Structure 1
């Protein structure tokens, strides 16, 4: 990890820049696969599954027998853990639904807004080196609460043509309606355009590598909504002398092991932490099964010493991290000053891992600085909000001159006439 001591503000942008990759050729490759899936449907999906995943599949949809087999393979201990996490995630997200409130803006005029679940949504669940069954919970639970009638899940098969048992257990637990053994760009294409087997959806959710991310962006250009812009996962730890060096190192490494393009940032006002964190990171790194991945991610990562907590907060807000851990005194007070972050973890006993799995908040969050303008996934992500209005004859009469005056001033006479015809008698 590169180290910086009291950098000038003019240096901030350069110091905390995310890794940049040339995606010109990537976009061409992804677009080619998407168009093939659009034109050739299931045949193209099977071709790319064999090419990219190394397995030839006759049937791409997961059967009930496959689900039952997978459920039996999941240990009781893991089942209980998944069920406990699902309970917490459901409890947190159920509170995000709003009661319809009718507002009488003036006598005889009633307006209200109603949330309606998006009918068909698609969930992409990575299944390579780290099968993210936790993401099934994070996406399908709010989708079911929102009332989405069709929840389609795609995840890449292994060399035996199967999905990870925990992915299938989680999917059947939380109400996924259709499951497909499709990964990568071809999965995004299948959900974007629909095939003889895979339904076309209206919005696609879920993380993925740079190919999947690019495919989602191109799908959006073709008329399918996506959850949010995405980039590699990231964490920022803001720490002072009260922080535990081993805790901080573990938080940085838990992010680094996600992928070689992940980024972990430490901003601290503690000279002691700044001086000793490297040794602790190295110690813990050597114990990790995914050491080689984490090492490469640490090449993108930074340790920054600043003069006081105010400057640390300012830099943290400038970075706009996906995950922000506050390992400092008065962490709750500091949290009130955070305006740009996907999810905030307050205090030494609030590791990112808790939110990634089971505390209840959603782990599908904006990355790459998009936390300045985007929220993480919630029940709201799975609904569209429709407004309604009902005017009585008296209500229309009272508002008529306001509407007529505005319509005529804009030169829209037909708008004015629609009012005049109703109130002339």
Structure 2
């Protein structure tokens, strides 16, 4: 007996978009059957998607909860069709660099989460001895920076320290890949071009080469976070062809925003690595379609409006980060449909592949045995982005005023609408 039966003429399954009913019992999908089965909810032409999995979210609680918190971040995620997030280890205080710090973060999140939440650990200088115990505590892997993270309590690793960390524990390492030797101090300026010049594509190329070299030497797995510079794609392709376990992600802002269109003083567009030009974005789209880029995730990285320095428009002084966990699905769908991609493609990039990246093979797909994390999504309807209608804590977004295709009508977590989020560990 099913607890819930949903019907739609557009159910996005691993086999494609089909008319079907989806039956749920005990929080799991127990049948994907003919559309003429009696249903509790008839969605008509509204599409039924698997809940998205966002493996790159900065929640910042505890310690910098004025930037973001678990209640607001997970509410924004659910409103955007994201039913699973993996929280990054930095910007919270303490950062998640030890089992004790992980427990502090979990206690801060307890009772607040509206979607399922897992955690990354952090690899920083001096904590290699903590990594095996932190991995055993259930983190999905370890984040490392190769350049300044922007917060003093999460310093970067040198190439030698990255090699030591990889040798210490057989885990997935996710790397912010910018090489400090290729970065320049940004001059105080309201011109986006000045900021862009301070973080050239070569910084990504060099750091990705470092990460690949470390993975090759240790026989370990590395994942390149928020790939911005398309010129690094041949490095990744060659390493994969040579048997190195390397993968890469990109983000909505790198695929849909254009450096040449960013107004002076518009610090809401600042992120690191930076948004580059339209030709670069075209190459990222092609790599995504080819499977060289594994997935699209938000890198939701909010802060208070004051830290964005919208008063001066100074890109050098502004915090770098874009808050988009609620908007990733419509942003990508709007651009994808214009480029001839399907809703099934978007689901593959934003649900199945990120779930597979972290081993959550029961997430991100509508098939028997998977968690009944489901999203009713109207791909034809449009809306205009109003920052004050978004659920993340601070109403700052580079998408303000944009007209987007795709409206999330309803979200179910394990077959239930509401806020019963759970903690996830690597064993899940």
Band the TM-score falls in, shorter-chain normalisation:
under 0.3
Relative to the length of structure 2, the TM-score reads 0.27
Relative to the length of structure 1, the TM-score reads 0.27
